[in-house]
């Protein structure tokens, strides 16, 4: 495992009575593709701005490679921030847009030419070098913005919603592209997004944030299979949640009975989470729950069935391969492998 590059420790930031960051601590490793994920207003941009030096935190420390980062002015930090709305210079060619930052650093002509050529190859825009931004597609403009950020060879590249301006299909392509690029240039990436699919498909690890607080930091697989709390379980993928009292054999829920899980010794209030794909339709004699089909949705390779269960307020979701074999109004029976149940206490 790679070494830690960036250590964020106990960082808080208030704007008047708004707490944008509340005691945030995150370690980011060298060469990692790291995502900050959370709903609008949870503090993602503020955290990037603190890292880039455009905002001073009220408390906390940030080190990069062991050095105190907060004492350095923005232009002395080996960090580049690509803004939420990246602005290319409309009157300059692609090549000049990319070269601009290097010229400002006062590098020699030959070096600038070589580095720009290199980075345009990396992002696949060599043949568009002399075009203006208006003569490019959205995806190509995005690549120019990336090229401009990478060409300065920062140790750390911060990207704020880099793909938000793109339509769905181009966005999916650029997700793969961004990942390939990160791998190729070997720069640590911190990408902000509020799109969980995007974070899950690109990042090595993700910090899930809510209202200025980091709710969990983990790999996509761990966030999904071992959420730490209800916020994460709900935000990442879909989940069926049942609130009750924990015991060794599961969670006892008023009106529904004992919903099985393998939790070892447990007690107290808890929520049992079952992912839709872990729910199975079974014969009545094996049923844990019975419900009535209220809706079925076919989404290509799989279907989602929504059930209403007497005594439970929200619909229970079941996903299955192919098209659903049940229709609205059918009574169905449900069970799950108890080892797939997740118990949450916060
Ligand atoms: N300069 C500022 N002055 C006052 N409040 C601010 C300022 N900057 C951010 N905030 C507030 O801090 C909170 C966090 O804002 P931030 O921009 O970090 O959110 P975000 O997670 O990036 O959201 P989005 O996904 O919408 O971009 C919000 O409530 C925002 O209104
Ligand atoms: Mg933002």
Model confidence pLDDT, tens digit, residues 57-80: 999 999 999 999 999 999 899 999
Max alpha carbon distance in the chain (Å)? 79
205-235 in b/e burial notation, b at 16+ Cβ within 10 A? Answer: bbbbbbbbbbbbbbebeebbeebbbbbbbeb
**For ligand 1, atom 14, which residue shows the shortest CA distance?**
43
Give residue 84 CA to ligand 2 midpoint distance, Å.
7
Locate 343 and state its tokens.
């118990």
The conformation of residue 287, written as its DSSP 8-state character, comes to -
CA distance between the termini of the chain: 30
Ligand that comes closest to the CA of residue 212: 1
pLDDT tens digits, one per residue of 139-177: 888 889 989 988 988 999 999 998 887 788 878 888 888
User: How many residues would you count in the chain?
Assistant: 346
**For ligand 1, atom 22, which residue shows the shortest CA distance?**
45
Locate 77 and state its tokens.
């930090």
pLDDT tens digits, one per residue of 280-296: 999 999 999 999 999 99
Cα–Cα distance measured from residue 227 to residue 215, given in angstroms and rounded to the nearest whole number: 10
Cα–Cα distance measured from residue 101 to residue 112, given in angstroms and rounded to the nearest whole number: 10
> Residues of the chain with pLDDT > 90: what percent?
76
Q: Are 132 and 93 in contact (CB under 8 A)?
A: yes
Spatial CA neighbour of 199 closest among 224, 220, 226: 220
Angle between helix axes 94-104 and 109-122 (nearest 10 degrees) is 130
**Res 26 pLDDT > 80:** yes
pLDDT tens digits, one per residue of 246-267: 998 999 999 999 999 998 887 8
Average pLDDT, the chain: 93
24 beta partners: 11
**Res 84 pLDDT > 80:** no
Give residue 44 CA to ligand 2 midpoint distance, Å.
6
Domains plus CATH for the chain?
4-230 (3.40.50.300), 238-344 (2.40.50.140)
Ligand that comes closest to the CA of residue 194: 1
Residue 46 alpha carbon, nearest atom of ligand 1: 18
Within 6 A (CB) of ligand 1 lie 15, 18, 20, 38, 40-46, 194
- Residue 293's pLDDT is 96
Ligand that comes closest to the CA of residue 208: 1
- Concatenating the DSSP letter of every residue in 104-148 gives HTT--HHHHHHHHHHHHHHTT-GGGTT--GGGS-HHHHHHHHHHH
Residue 49 alpha carbon, nearest atom of ligand 1: 18
């Amino acid at each position: 495992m790679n070494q830690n590059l960036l250590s964020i420790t106990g960082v808080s930031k208030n704007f008047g009575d708004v707490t944008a960051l509340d005691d945030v601590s995150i370690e980011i490793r060298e060469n990692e593709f790291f995502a900050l994920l959370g709903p609008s207003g949870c503090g993602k941009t503020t955290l990037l701005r603190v890292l880039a030096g455009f905002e001073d935190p009220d408390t906390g420390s940030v080190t990069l490679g062991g050095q105190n980062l907060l004492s350095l002015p923005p232009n002395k930090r080996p960090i580049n921030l690509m803004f939420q709305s990246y602005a290319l210079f409309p009157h300059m060619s692609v090549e000049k847009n990319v070269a601009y930052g290097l010229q400002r650093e006062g590098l020699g002509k030959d070096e600038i030419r070589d580095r720009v050529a290199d980075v345009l190859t990396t992002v696949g825009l060599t043949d568009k070098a002399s075009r203006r931004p208006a003569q490019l597609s959205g995806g190509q403009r995005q690549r120019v913005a990336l090229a401009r950020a990478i060409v300065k060879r920062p140790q750390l590249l911060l990207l704020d919603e880099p793909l938000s301006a793109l339509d769905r299909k181009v966005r999916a392509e650029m997700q793969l592209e961004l990942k390939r690029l990160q791998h190729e240039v070997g720069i640590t990436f911190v990408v902000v997004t509020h799109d969980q699919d995007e974070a899950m498909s690109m990042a090595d690890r993700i910090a899930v944030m809510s209202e200025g607080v980091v709710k969990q930091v983990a790999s996509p697989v761990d966030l999904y299979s071992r959420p730490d709390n209800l916020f994460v379980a709900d935000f990442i993928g879909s989940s069926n949640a049942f609130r009750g009292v924990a015991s060794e054999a599961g969670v006892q829920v008023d009106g529904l009975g004992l919903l099985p899980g393998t939790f070892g010794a447990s007690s107290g209030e808890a929520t049992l989470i079952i992912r839709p794909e872990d729910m199975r339709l079974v014969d009545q004699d094996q049923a844990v729950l019975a419900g009535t089909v209220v809706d079925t949705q076919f989404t290509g390779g799989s279907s989602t069935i929504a059930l209403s269960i007497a005594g439970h307020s929200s619909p229970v979701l079941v996903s299955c391969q192919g098209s659903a074999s049940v229709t609205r109004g059918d009574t169905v029976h449900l069970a799950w492998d108890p080892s797939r149940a997740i118990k949450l206490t916060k």
